[in-house]
Amino acid sequence: MTEPAHKAGNGGAEMRFRPVLHALTANPGVEMVDYAAGRQGLITMAQGQGDAPTPDFITDAAFQAAKNGKTFYGPPLGEDALREAISAYYARIYGLDVPASRVFVTASGTTAMNLSLATLLDKGDNVVAVTPIWKNLLGAVELTQASVTQVSLDYVDDAWRLDLDKLFSAVTPYTRVLMIVSPSNPTGWFAEEAELRAILDFARARGIWVIADEVYSRLIYDGRTRAPSFLDVSTPEDHLLVINSFSKSWAMTGWRLGWIVGPPEAADKIRDVALYNNLCPPTFPQYGAIAALEEGEGFLAEQIALWRANRDAMMAAFAAMPRVRLARPEATFYGFFRVEGEGDCITLAKRFVDEAGLLLSPGCAFGHACRSYIRMCFAVSRDRLDETMRRIVSVVGG
């Protein structure tokens, strides 16, 4: 008598999962976190967050909303009050008219990207992505079974530059989305308005969508209030989804709240995907997000001042290391550097862990062209930054 194809318990048939999950490319950043786990005295500069907790005026607003009963399911695209607050924020800070009906609140910026991609992509489609880029965004494309073409920024004269001709030549008849992160995690580069206009004109002429990750738009230095936005050069009818988040500007990484600005026609489609993803963003935290938008400029200014000083201190410390090369980040809170003679970022990142008790992100997590780079986050206290730089010197020399 033959055995059945499936049996209960450990003797049953092999567990089967979606083939796409077996085809996902590795995430070197996560692998490095696992490698460093449990090390005593470890300094972690690998994650993209500061060490300041969420300020009280935000947590108090969320707590009060919970006390007031804002603990039930909410609308799939977010509370009307938060959508209106985001609309007012764009008017106040960006000088733009973005109606609340074009704002779709999501449970994190990462969720905003996943919803956007799930709305637009099918198996066989292609996404052209400007790299270096956060690995999670590329992984989100892989889950849709679309392909990714990476177009790297060029490192020229100690600065990152986008070659528009190279970007446009990567587009094929299968390309459905251009993915642009500006300001860039991890380089600190951002596109100027003329570049954004050229990209949008190119996409518009071909019916291609642009997904713009503008999560770091307020983390900009040297006199600007915010980075140029695709919303500056677009119309409401453009095939454009702009993603943002509360995580970075207001120390809310653990809150998992973000938003999308899209054309009016996208609202129902984003809603339909959201319904089967997580139904709705969490309710009472959205009232903390309203407080962040309406009362958070002072906190953000303090953070920017700290990060600017840290950036300058980091640049001065690296300038004393003859083998280190990096572009001065004009936005974000990352230093993306390479060390001459160290071509394998995984090997170097492990050396930082083993020899200096320092966890940094390997550059290959951000794209094919970044094998020799390392990313560090400088959104930390000055003491922690100074100790980090001392540990880097102990590995690469002063």
Say whether both 164 and 64 belong to one domain.
yes
Classify residue 3: in a domain, yes or no: no
Residue 98 belongs to domain with CATH number: 3.40.640.10
Q: What pLDDT score does 6 carry? A: 47
3-class secondary structure, 154: strand
pLDDT at 1: 47
Query: Could you tell me which residues are beta bridge partners of residue 375?
Result: 336, 361
135 and 157 in a common domain: yes
Question: Residue written as tokens 């970044």?
Answer: 370
Q: Are 93 and 161 within one domain?
A: yes
Q: What angle do CA 349, 354, 355 make, to 5 degrees?
A: 100
pLDDT at position 63, please? 98
Q: Does residue 315 contact residue 88 with C-beta atoms inside 8 Å? A: no
Of 296, 316, 331, the residue at which a domain comes to its end is 296
357 in the same domain as 272: no
Residue 115 lies in a domain: yes
Q: How far apart are CA 318 and CA 336, in angstroms?
A: 11
CA pair distance 166, 371, nearest whole angstrom: 20
The partner residues of 152 in beta bridges, in order of sequence, read 131
CB 135 within 8 A of CB 111: no
Between helices 382-396 and 297-319, what is the axis angle to 10°? 20
Domain boundary among 242, 274, 296: 296
Q: What is the pLDDT of residue 10?
A: 58
Task: Indicate whether 35 belongs to any domain.
Answer: yes
Residue 23 pLDDT? 83
Yes or no: say if 321 and 397 are a contact pair by the CB < 8 Å rule. yes
Structure tokens at 131: 């790299």
Residue 214 inside a domain? The answer is: yes
Same domain for 241 and 364: no
Same domain, 392 and 326: yes
Nearest Cα residue to 259 out of 78, 81, 59, 89? 78
In degrees and rounded to multiples of 5, residue 212 shows phi and psi of: -110, 115
Q: How many domains is the chain partitioned into structurally? A: 2
Check which CATH number belongs to the domain holding 339 and give it.
Answer: 3.90.1150.10
Closest to 178 in 3D by CA, of 233, 137, 220: 137
Per the domain annotation, does 2 fall within a domain?
Answer: no
Q: Is residue 371 part of a domain?
A: yes
The pLDDT, as a whole number, for residue 16 is: 86
Residue 281 counted as domain residue: yes
Q: Are residues 275 and 173 in the same domain?
A: yes
235 and 141 together in one domain: yes
Q: How far apart are CA 319 and CA 314, in angstroms?
A: 8
pLDDT in tens, the chain (398 residues): 444 444 455 566 788 888 888 888 888 999 999 999 999 999 999 999 988 999 999 999 999 999 999 999 999 999 999 999 999 999 999 999 999 999 999 999 999 999 999 999 999 999 999 999 999 999 999 999 999 999 999 999 999 999 999 999 999 999 999 999 999 999 999 999 999 999 999 999 999 999 999 999 999 998 899 999 999 999 999 999 999 999 999 999 999 999 999 999 999 999 999 999 999 999 999 999 999 999 999 999 999 999 999 999 999 999 999 999 999 999 999 999 999 999 899 999 999 999 999 999 999 999 999 999 999 999 999 999 999 999 999 999 86
Closest listed residue to residue 376, CA positions, set 12, 48, 37: 48
Whether 98 and 244 share a structural domain: yes
Based on the domain organization, do 262 and 374 belong to the same domain?
A: no
Helix H, strand E, coil C: the string for 92-106 is HHHCCCCCHHHEEEE
Alpha helices in 106-150 (DSSP H): 109-120, 135-143
Residue 164 in domain: yes
Phi, psi values for residue 84, rounded to 5°:
-65, -35
What pLDDT shows up at residue 117?
A: 97
The sign of the torsion formed by the CA atoms of 115, 25, 230, 169 equals negative
275 and 220 in a common domain: yes
Q: Which range of residues forms the domain containing residue 154?
A: 56-296
Residue-wise pLDDT for 308-321, tens only, equals 999 999 999 999 99
Question: In this structure, are 143 and 277 located in the same domain?
Answer: yes
Q: Among 296, 322, 349, where does a domain finish?
A: 296
Listed residue (238, 216, 234, 246) closest to 333, CA to CA: 216
| Number of neighbours of residue 60 by Cβ within 10 angstroms | 13
CA distances from 379 to 301, 309, 310 (A): 13, 10, 8
Where do we find the tokens 């951000």?
Answer: 366
pTM of the model: 0.93
